[in-house]
Structure 1
């Protein structure tokens, strides 16, 4: 599949009102902001026609511009609250970008800055999976550690008694016997234009899974950021 023959938009969501880590998307790992890490990867993908940042914060928009990410609009207040959904933000960015550039895009990718360990190949794999015509969407996922799967999850009732979330959980004392589960890692979502405009969930129907086997971090809390910095340092040392 020739990606150069398609019109592809990258959307980078970066609202200014994050609570767990204030101004989270401007925080740095190895001297580069989270927004900057996204921009550096986008620059390695010549088949991405346009890249825009969806933000309500002029400082975030300015930071995106430093790394070649356009900011032709600011995100409206209604899409900047804690209750705003990712898919609505993505739709708004697509429609606004098409109006600004006068282009109807074939595919859009959604790249969250809070997943700074993405590689250009991750995005390309995701878009190629989508462009194969078998799916309307594709998303990167990571395998969930055995101790965090439904078979190992516990509940506590009103009497304080603990029980397995799944009744069959007690049968799986050996971790290797637990079925495989996966979770979103935020590295890349990709969707065909019409499917995106019609859907109401960032994981739409006919969404292909692109499994990322290496260690990645999705930054939400301060400890995640510290761990990401440590992991990034180890990765850099291993390359020397």
Structure 2
């Protein structure tokens, strides 16, 4: 095992439109986000496990399950159009500037992926460590072509 320091971030916005409060809804006996927190805490390379959220409800659940919630995410990073990278960068900046912590790696785990295994995290991390890559992403092959559900507007604005 290496001495690398790893910041595990879990981004969980409170304003989900598709499934309201999805991050704290019960899935398999506990809140959805709790599964990801458990994975991060059980992975033996985690130095710090933090949740970035704009929701005090999500923050309370995250802390109950052992994650650190050192701040509530600013509004400009909590909108429907906010990209994830700036959210992760904000979390890292906060931890380095406000908590005086340094990290060799950042591992971001989606709150909405409760079926991942700790081995999946470790395998991705090993790919990152043992290659020239700067980022590693997990993906799932789509069952359907995403264009199947798309429509195009004509010159008059009709589908």
TM-score scaled by length of structure 2: 0.88
Higher relative contact order (CA 8 A, sep 6+): 2
Structure 1: state its 5+ residue gaps.
160-240
Cα RMSD (Å) of the superposition?
A: 2.1
Question: Match for residue 130 of structure 2?
Answer: 132
For the pair shown, the structure with the greater C-alpha radius of gyration is 1
Supply the distance in 1 between the matched residues of 2:33 and 2:150 (Cα, whole angstroms). 37
Do the aligned residues in 2 keep the contact of 1:28 with 1:34 (CA within 8 Å)?
yes
Q: How does 1:64-103 map to 2 (within 5 A)?
A: 64-103=62-101
Do the aligned residues in 1 keep the contact of 2:9 with 2:106 (CA within 8 Å)?
yes
Question: Match for residue 148 of structure 1?
Answer: 145
Do the aligned residues in 2 keep the contact of 1:10 with 1:52 (CA within 8 Å)?
yes
Do the aligned residues in 1 keep the contact of 2:5 with 2:104 (CA within 8 Å)?
yes
Supply the distance in 2 between the matched residues of 1:16 and 1:149 (Cα, whole angstroms). 26
The CA deviation at 1:42 is: 1.4
SS of residue matched to 1:139: coil
Question: Match for residue 219 of structure 1?
Answer: none
* Structure (1 or 2) with the greater strand fraction: 1
Do the aligned residues in 2 keep the contact of 1:16 with 1:55 (CA within 8 Å)?
yes
Do the aligned residues in 2 keep the contact of 1:16 with 1:23 (CA within 8 Å)?
yes
Do the aligned residues in 2 keep the contact of 1:6 with 1:107 (CA within 8 Å)?
yes
SS of residue matched to 1:138: coil
Supply the distance in 2 between the matched residues of 1:5 and 1:55 (Cα, whole angstroms). 29
Q: Which runs of 4+ in 1 moved over 3 A?
A: 152-159
Deviation by residue 1:17-55 (Cα, 9 ceiling, x = unmatched): 111111110111112111111111112212100010001
Supply the distance in 1 between the matched residues of 2:99 and 2:43 (Cα, whole angstroms). 19
Do the aligned residues in 2 keep the contact of 1:52 with 1:97 (CA within 8 Å)?
no
Deviation by residue 1:112-135 (Cα, 9 ceiling, x = unmatched): 111111111111111111111421
